[in-house]
Structure 1
């Protein structure tokens, strides 16, 4: 067992069970997907929004199973960065690590910016300070992550419950309201459908937090696959319901920095405020889990020497990685300060699809003795990733 410069083991403690893994997965997905990504996708897909969600869900399932296969066969922190080294080549691992850090840092920046926009609109705060609110949020959750995984799990559970309350309110109030016809139908072409699916796919990839934290999950061969499948089933149901509700309420009219906020579709101010609260808390949970997940990949890269060795140090109780976590905060803050909602989310979409392409290639190389999914699942996942990249890129250029 390797030890840090202080003589303390730099391995993390396995203290998260199936329930904790589920909470991590749900907390990583619910916020930005339901409260941001579906709103952005609705503007692009128009009446095909639900189909875009279904395409993203199927793609996520194939990729999630490949991730679960790899995490069960090689349960260490670092996700596809480690899997690339183990089952492909050092170069593949390094590329995957860089893609993960870029994609998830962009997702965290998007979530933090979205929370800042929710807050600024609710309290009539100047839009000029949105970026600084976002960075303050990132700082707060960085400190929470440094307090240790156990405390983070308890907070995750609370965030998930409140997030669900906000979404159920949106769905319940929205579907019981009178249906509204769309007056400015968005482009519903096939290319727009796949463009929207690519953006929505990112909203499903919180299951990756479960895999990247494989070193901290008890009985990983059983708990990681179960947590991934259950998480995706629950999230797919919620996303489809949210998408259908958006269409029932007339859809997203046009994109502006704040038009992604689904609460604006609810006419009753009190119910709308409850959805806003749920959104803020849900996306805060996303930021929390992304800070945790990205820091673990930076930790893994430092252990191998692909990043400075000091980033591999863990705390004296082996429950946090301070240097890697502060580096994560710095990267996410830079993106939040330099990019907007749409550009940050688009960056996340394209880089994460490339990342999961490598994931599927690595999964195809898992030995037969360690396999529990057929190879065609990973082949389908690989083709879906690169297919969405190609079609979404063409649509993005045209759109």
Structure 2
């Protein structure tokens, strides 16, 4: 059919894309902060985070079917709720995902050079920003290779951890309900990328049936993998050991005496972080440029290089801000701040989905309530910094609107 997108992706392809988007650096970094918040209650928090992610992805899929254009909730919010809500969603995405870039970089640093993680973290951000400026992004083949490498690394971690026969004393959950909810907000970071499936409506065969099924299958599979890894980590290190670990999955793999596993896990974690970081910088930069082109942010960030198609100023800005976060925050702070931005983004997506009619309204309500609850129970410092950043963004927009 001339001029139309070819619908070549079936259910299996869609599930693989979802798995490749979610099984990344988050699993190597989020368990430590979550264990610090909830102890062994981290496993309950993992289920809560997965349920909220499913609600968000379902609402995003419904919105994508109604508004099949790039921009995500930035577009949905503008169309369904009004320009201010669209801006808030876009701003939440930009600041949240920029913090995610910093968290990915810090995780990379923790596995590459545990004694001085910020050094390799800064280097990898600058290097991959430079790569993106050349117009080089991760290909679909590379995504599948990284997925296979990540899965192989996680299988090694679980097998080595359990084979050693070393188990930590069983401990009751700590932190109470608030700690579990805070851990869920931090673990939400590990599911980042699940909405990638919902953006493929024009390329999927029978999208109305395929996308919801692919979302459910991919999220279910990821939840099982994360539960296996998280349970193994708790059994081997215990909540306190997991909370204090700088490179937790390395310590899980080597706890039983299998020293040969250490370099393999470090390489797998570093590759997963670098792969996710490469696409994150590109995605955030393009959203930043799109908002600037609409006049929602300074138009100086809008120009796109004609030869490479890269919004160079926007991507440079993302890289520099990510480096600043790396140098001023620790991993837990970066994950918490990323959670604030992204959860606000999806809260607006769920609110926009409520305007579509009665279908799956209960899912949208559950997603909206879940996002709000997880935001307010994140670490206090992350919430306060996030609120301040949102206030600055909204005030800046108001000034630009007044000046015309």
TM-score interval, normalised by the smaller of the two chains: 0.7 to 0.9
What secondary structure does 1:235 align onto?
Answer: helix
Q: Contact 1:314–1:322 (CA<8 Å) still a contact in 2? A: yes
1:195 corresponds to 2:188: no
Aligned equivalent of 2:395: none
Aligned-residue offset at 1:257:
7.6
Identify which range, 289-298 or 252-261, moves more after superposition.
Answer: 252-261
Encode CA deviations 1:170-209: one digit per residue, 9 max, x unaligned: 1122233325133776625222111111110121131234
Which residue number corresponds to residue 236 of structure 2? 249
Contact 1:31 1:283 survives alignment (8 Å): yes
Kept after mapping to 2: 8 A contact 1:43/1:251: no
Whether the 8 Å contact between 2:185 and 2:378 is mirrored in structure 1 is: yes
CA distance in 2, matches of 1:246, 1:286: 23
Instruction: Output the CA distance in 2 between the equivalents of 1:355 and 1:321.
Output: 22
Structure 1 residues 215 and 58: CA distance shift in structure 2, 3 A: closer
Matching residue of 1:79: 72
Q: Is the 8 A contact 1:46 1:188 kept in 2?
A: yes
Shift of the alpha carbon at 1:237?
1.4
Q: 2: distance between equivalents of 1:302 and 1:236?
A: 36
Other structure's SS at 2:70 match = coil
Gap change, CA 1:118 and 1:63, over 3 Å in 2: same
User: In the alignment, does 2:269 pair up with 1:297?
Assistant: no
Task: Determine the structure 2 residue equivalent to 1:53.
Answer: 46
Instruction: Give the superposition deviation at 1:117.
Output: 1.7
2:146 to 150, 153, 159: 159
Partners of 2:126 and 2:212 in 1: CA distance: 32
Give the Cα–Cα distance (whole angstroms) in 2 for the partners of residues 175 and 43 of structure 1. Answer: 22
- Alpha carbon RMSD of aligned pairs, Å? 3.2
| Aligned pair partner of 1:229 in 216, 219, 234 | 216
The residue correspondences of 1:1-399 to structure 2 (distance < 5 A) are 25-121=18-114, 127=116, 130-146=117-133, 148=135, 151-182=138-169, 187-211=174-198, 221=207, 225=212, 227-254=214-241, 259-266=246-253, 267=255, 268-309=258-299, 311-316=301-306, 320-366=310-356, 374-392=360-378
| Cα offsets for 1:242-301 (capped at 9, x unmatched) | 111112213242577853522112332111322222111111222122113212321321
- CA distance in 1 between partners of 2:146 and 2:250 (Å): 18
CA distance in 2, matches of 1:142, 1:170: 30
Cα distance in 1, alignment partners of residues 70 and 301 from structure 2: 14
Larger CA deviation: 74-83 vs 190-199: 74-83
State the secondary structure of the residue aligned to 1:269: coil
Q: Offset of 1:328 from its aligned partner?
A: 2.1
Partner secondary structure for residue 246 of structure 2: coil
TM-superposed deviation, 1:379: 0.6
Aligned length: 374
Measure the CA separation in 1 of the matches of 2:371 and 2:90. Answer: 17
In the TM superposition, residue 99 of structure 1 has moved relative to its aligned partner by 0.9
Equivalent-residue separation in structure 2 for 1:231 and 1:246 (angstroms): 22
Q: Is the 8 A contact 1:27 1:289 kept in 2?
A: no
Conserved 8 A contact 1:179-1:249: yes
From the superposition, tell whether residues 138 and 282 of structure 1 become closer, same or farther in structure 2 (CA, over 3 Å).
same
The higher relative CO (CA closer than 8 Å, separation ≥ 6) is in 1
CA deviations over 1:51-89 (Å, ceiling 9, x no partner): 111111111111111112222221222221111111111
> By how many angstroms is 1:317 displaced?
6.4
| Structure 1 unpaired stretches of 5+ | 1-12
Looking at structure 1, the residues matched to 7 and 133 of structure 2 have their Cα atoms a distance apart, in angstroms, of 16
